[in-house]
Amino acid sequence: MIKARIIVTLKNGVLDPQGKAIENALGGLGFGDVGQVRQGKVFDIELAHDDKVKAETDLKAMCDKLLANTVIENYAVEIV
Amino acid sequence: MIKARIIVTLKNGVLDPQGKAIENALGGLGFGDVGQVRQGKVFDIELAHDDKVKAETDLKAMCDKLLANTVIENYAVEIV
């Protein structure tokens, strides 16, 4: 079994109102040193085989087809 | 400036309907090898100082106070 972690983040330049809200909330809680905050998504996926090459290809296809919107988001695939 | 990444994931045993929906959707797209899928959140945070010890303490406090619900979620802080 292969375990993988996919991290999807907004591309630079894409507005992130959710991150901005967190930034303001952290400032309000007294964390004055906080600069930019950006929020993304993480997916922990288990695959029922042990072929790392196939896994990497499949995981990238999953990102392109479903998990990420590649117009505005980047993704990183990591096999753990 | 310190850049940090915080990853918040659901604890084992906590139901994750969103992850389950993604699991089913991936199956429907033809990825038959997909086992369990769990979704989490990632926060990329910039801090306006260079004190790694203070950063680690502050980031953990941010998770406890705002970013994670520690009843059902785990978090990992990583300074990048």
Q: Which of chain A's residues have a Cβ under 8 Å away from the Cβ of B46? A: 34-37
Would you call A25 an interface residue with chain B, using a CB distance cutoff of 8 Å?
Answer: yes
Neighbouring CB atoms inside 10 A of A32's CB total 8
Q: How far is CA A62 from CA A70, A71, B27, B28, in A?
A: 12, 15, 10, 11
Which residue, among A12, A31, A41, A79, would best test binding to B if mutated, counting the most B CBs under 10 Å from its CB? Answer: A31
Instruction: Show the low-confidence residues of chain B (pLDDT under 50).
Output: none
CATH-assigned architecture of domain B2-79:
2-Layer Sandwich (3.30)
Could you tell me what percent of chain A has a pLDDT over 70?
A: 100
pLDDT of residue B53: 95
**Helices and strands (H, E) in chain A, number of each type:** 2, 3
